[in-house]
Amino acid sequence: MEFLREWFRGSVGVGVYAKREFGLLIGDMAAKTGFERDSMVLGGFELVYWPRVKKRFNESNLFMGIGYWETGDTEPILENMYYDRIAYDFDSEWSPQLAVEAAREFSRLLKETYGFDTVLVKSGFKGAHVYIPLKTPVQWDEYQVLWKALLKLLPPEKQQLCDYNMLQWNRLARIPMTINYKNGEKRWAWIVQPSVRGWLDFKWEGLEPLDPAGLPVAKIKVAIPTLQRHFVEPVDDATPATRDDQAPPTNRKPRRYEWVEKIIEKGLPDGRKRFILYVLSAYLVNVKRLSEEEAMQVVQEFLENSCRNHNNCGKVYESFIRGDLQRVRSKGLKPVSLEKLREKDPDLHSLIEQALS
């Protein structure tokens, strides 16, 4: 509990009357039953969860929200949320060590480039979490910009090991220094940076936090020139943004495809892969004339918006997206129109109509 108080408090000194979401499953996570998710002050955790946890600590999967709120609301509301840390999850089913190495490299690059410290946690089975402590709390819009921009320090192949499902405003993350119990196995989720031997060794005060005010988006653009297109301020369609190393893509949005842009912005509650196959890949490659990397970034934006707005967060592998972008480019395919989609896939057409309305 002493460690949990420190972890709850964070680098900004969150008060004991602030609320966070907590998650608890006592038993094997693979069972996918019995998971509890509750909003409470720290004292509520100590009264409600802790008596059971301390009896079966080695079987307790414990989670805490990345954000907090100080209003009287009993449940989190996006407009009231603040974030005292930025959280990343690097994982790989086939090579957990590769994910851990990517997390270590990310932490090193952040320290070398900007001078602030990170907390690195081996998550147990598939990789590692990286937490960036903040000097002052931020709200969700700032959080997203910082999260995406800082990740660009890593080369693209290592960025792919970072789980974009972490980019949810009410995301729960496993509490470090606890047990990860899954598929009959138990592993520690342990802090490896800074080096700690036990629960009482960890203190936020010993870390240099990131000052969000000292890292405005404008500076990030200079330091990281490969930012995704949706970090940059909107430009007029008639004067698309250019990069030094290539001719400008066709960023003009033909009026007949405005609905596609709206779906990218809104996301979908279901049918993401079908939308990519029938519409999005062909639109980005053969209408907007984007490069493969630029198109990948837009598809990722669509997936993020589907996750954020509709809780549709299942993983869509990069190999699937790249394969489809290459398919439509090689065949010169154009996107399926809304009218044809009504005949070809009525279910997807209905989902799109609902999103547009």
All domains in the chain, ordered by first residue? 2-213 (3.30.70.3300), 229-356 (no CATH)
Secondary structure of the chain as H, E, C letters: CHHHHHHHHCCCCCCCCCEEEEEEEECCHHHCCCCEEEEECHHHHHHHCHHHHHHCHHHEEEEEECEEECCCCCCCCHHHCEEEEEEEEEECCCCHHHHHHHHHHHHHHHHHHHCCCCEEEECCCCEEEEEEEEEEEECHHHHHHHHHHHHCCCCHHHHCCECHHHCCCCCEEECCCEEEEECCEEEEEEEEECCCCCHHHCCHHHCCCECHHHCCHHHHHHHCCCCCHHHCCCCCCCCCCCECCECCCCCCCCHHHHHHHHHHHHCCCCCHHHHHHHHHHHHHHHHCCCCHHHHHHHHHHHHHHHHHHHCCCCCCCHHHHHHHHHHHHHHCCCCCCHHHHHHHCHHHHHHHHHHHC
Q: What is the mean pLDDT of residues 304-319?
A: 88
For residue 256, the model assigns a pLDDT of 74
CA atoms within a 13 Å half-sphere pointing along the CA-CB vector of 166: 25
Cα 342 to chain centroid, rounded: 33
Rounded to whole angstroms, the Cα distance separating 57 from 51 reads: 10
Residue 239, pLDDT above cutoff 70: no
Cis geometry, peptide bond prior to residue 194 (ω within 30 degrees of 0):
yes
How many Å apart are CA 274 and CA 295, to the nearest integer?
Answer: 16
pTM of the model: 0.62
* 47: exposed, middle or buried (Cβ count in 10 Å: 0-12, 13-18, 19+): exposed
Res. 217 pLDDT band, cuts 50 70 90: low
Q: Which amino acid is at 159?
A: Q
Asked if pLDDT for residue 241 goes beyond 60, the answer is no
Longest dimension (CA), the chain: 65
Q: In terms of pLDDT, which residue wins out, 22 or 244?
A: 22
Residue 64 exposure: Cα atoms within 13 Å on the Cβ side:
26
Q: What is the pLDDT of residue 234?
A: 31
What number is the average pLDDT over the span 165-178? 94
% of the chain with per-residue pLDDT over 90: 65
Residues 6+ apart with CB under 8 A from 256: none
Contact 6, 203 (CB under 8 A): yes
pLDDT digits (tens, 9 = 90+) for 124-158: 888 999 999 999 999 999 999 999 999 999 999 99
Residue given tokens 């007949």 in the structure block: 256
Confidence of residue 221 (pLDDT cuts 50, 70, 90): very low
Q: Torsions phi, psi of 158, nearest 5?
A: -90, -25
pLDDT of residue 232: 32
Look at residue 255 in the predicted model and tell me its pLDDT: 62
pLDDT score of 65: 97
What's the pLDDT at 151? 95
Whether pLDDT at 339 is above 90: no
Count of residues in the chain: 357
- pLDDT confidence of residue 120: 97
Residue 248: predicted pLDDT: 40
Report pLDDT digits (tens) over 27-78: 999 887 889 999 999 999 999 999 999 999 999 999 999 999 999 899 999 9
Q: Can you tell me the distance from the alpha carbon of 129 to that of 180, in angstroms, rounded to the nearest whole number?
A: 13
Q: If pLDDT is split at 50, 70 and 90, which confidence band does 347 have? A: confident
Non-local CB neighbours of 297 within 8 Å, separated by 6+ positions: 228, 229, 230
Spatial CA neighbour of 8 closest among 59, 56, 68, 55: 68
Q: Residue 195: its pLDDT value, please?
A: 92
